[in-house]
Structures are given as structure tokens and as C-alpha cells.
Amino acid sequence: MDTAFFLTWIEEVAEAVRAERDHLTELDAAIGDADHGTNLDRGFTAVREALAGAPPATPGAALVLAGTTLIRKVGGASGPLYGTAFRQLGKSLGDAPDIGLPELAAAFEAALAALGKLGGAAEGDKTMVDALAPAVRELAKAALDGAKPGDALNRAADAAAGGARATIPLQARKGRASYLGPRSAGHEDPGAASTALIFDALRRTAQR
Ligand code: ADP
Ligand code: MG
């Protein structure tokens, strides 16, 4: 997976976020402050511009720039959290021009750890971690199985989607939705839904 692969992934994410912007914002309207879709659309639009303005030479550089831009441009909890995760993903990939599945899986494990350290959320707290953690686990398992990248990313995307759906009955223990207490149950977490979009975009990128 080379630099073009990761740039295509980011393009696919930006397009999916644009297409799902209103849906993500509706999810956030139910248990937050109705800005998740617009936050991410603003962020990934800025990421596209940043990457076009300073074309990165490596996958790691592309992901670090994406993360830095998200931190700068997205207000709210999700900007620093996603920004930190993308930055860590990039840092972990270093300056290798071509990334294999084991390296990608390890980088995602580091990104999950960085996001968890910043936000303090564990699985079951009804956040993006509920989609990210199972996807990262599946990716690591697939790497150990010696799976092909396309199959591994397919499995990871399914795991993220399942994790996002599984947030519906949960009560939020982190972020704005936690202020609602038991009333946060019965709605999908917007950040978990956007994480599922991000992994679905990665699956599509591998299938192209
Ligand atoms: P804000 O909550 O500041 O309005 P967004 O609406 O953009 O920011 O993002 C909300 C999402 O951020 C939530 O749905 C949740 O998935 C995620 N989130 C919030 N707080 C945390 C946290 N401490 N750790 C992990 N994810 C979090
Ligand atoms: Mg919000």
C-alpha cells in the first residue's frame, strides 16, 4: 500500500463524510449538539486542500498532515481525537514508501492507544472507540492469519460497522452524550458511525 493508496483512502473518506454529513449531524442532534457531520466535513475538506497544496512523499507524511489539519480545523471533541489517531498512524508508518498489512495493523494499534490516552474512553463507553477497537483487533488478527490486505480490510470494516451498531443500546460514559445519562441509550453514537465510514472507505480503496 503506497502513498497513492493512502491518498485515495483520504479522498474516499472525504467523499463519504460529505455524503453522510447530514446523517452524522442527525445522529449528533439526538445525543449531542448536532455538529458532528459539519465538523468532519469541514475537517476533511481542509485535509484535501492541505494534501493538494503540499503533496506528501510517503504514506506516513500524508497521514501526519491529515491528522495535523484535523486538529487545526475541527472544533469539538472529534477533531483532536481523530487528528491524534491519524497523526499516530502516520508516525508509526515512518518514512516507508510501501506499507504491508502487519505494519498497517501495528500502526492502527498505536493510533487506537493514542486516541484512548487522549480521550480516556474504553470500549463500551459509547464513543468512536467502540468501532475503532474491534476494527483494529480484526486487522491484527487478519495480519497474523497472513490474510491479503483486501480481505483484512474487508473484515476490519465489518467489525467497525458492527461496533458502531452495537453502540445503540449503550449509555454514554464519555463526551457530550454522557450528560444525557440513560437518555443517551437508543441512539447510535455519531463518532462510532463516522469511524465505520472511515473503515468502509479503506475497504473500498483496497477493492479499487
Ligand atoms: P463534540 O462532542 O465536541 O460536539 P463531535 O460532535 O464532532 O464533537 O464528536 C462527537 C463524538 O466524539 C462522539 O460521538 C464520540 O464518538 C466522540 N467522543 C467524544 N468524547 C470522546 C472521548 N473522550 N473519547 C473518545 N471519543 C469521544
Ligand atoms: Mg457534536
Q: How confident is the model at residue 119 (pLDDT cuts 50, 70, 90)?
A: very high
Ligand 1 centroid to Cα of residue 85, in Å, is 13
What's the chain's average pLDDT? Answer: 97
Ligand 1 centroid to Cα of residue 80, in Å, is 10
Q: What is the pLDDT of residue 182?
A: 96
Rounded mean pLDDT, 49-64: 98
What digits encode the pLDDT tens for the residues 176-195?
Answer: 999 999 999 999 999 999 99
**Ligand 1 pocket check for 191: Cβ under 6 Å:** yes
**Measuring from atom 9 of ligand 1, which residue has the nearest CA?**
78
Query: What's the CATH number for 3-207?
Result: 1.25.40.340
**Ligand 1 pocket check for 12: Cβ under 6 Å:** no
Exposed/middle/buried for residue 54 (C-beta within 10 Å: 0-12, 13-18, 19+) = exposed
Q: How confident is the model at residue 86 (pLDDT cuts 50, 70, 90)?
A: very high
Q: Which of 162, 99, 177, 108 is nearest to 131 (CA)?
A: 162
**Extents of the domains making up the chain:** 3-207
**Measuring from atom 4 of ligand 1, which residue has the nearest CA?**
76
Q: What is the pLDDT of residue 75?
A: 83
Ligand 1 centroid to Cα of residue 100, in Å, is 31
CB 91 within 8 A of CB 101: no
- Note the pTM of the prediction, 2 decimals: 0.97
Ligand 2 centroid to Cα of residue 35, in Å, is 4
Rounded mean pLDDT, 6-35: 98
**Ligand 1 pocket check for 172: Cβ under 6 Å:** no
Q: Taking the chain, what is the end-to-end CA distance rounded to the nearest angstrom?
A: 12
Determine if residue 133 is left, alpha or beta; phi over 0 gives left, psi from -120 to 50 gives alpha, anything else beta: alpha
Q: What percent of the chain has pLDDT over 70?
A: 100
Q: What is the pLDDT of residue 164?
A: 98
What digits encode the pLDDT tens for the residues 134-166?
Answer: 999 999 999 999 999 999 999 999 999 999 999
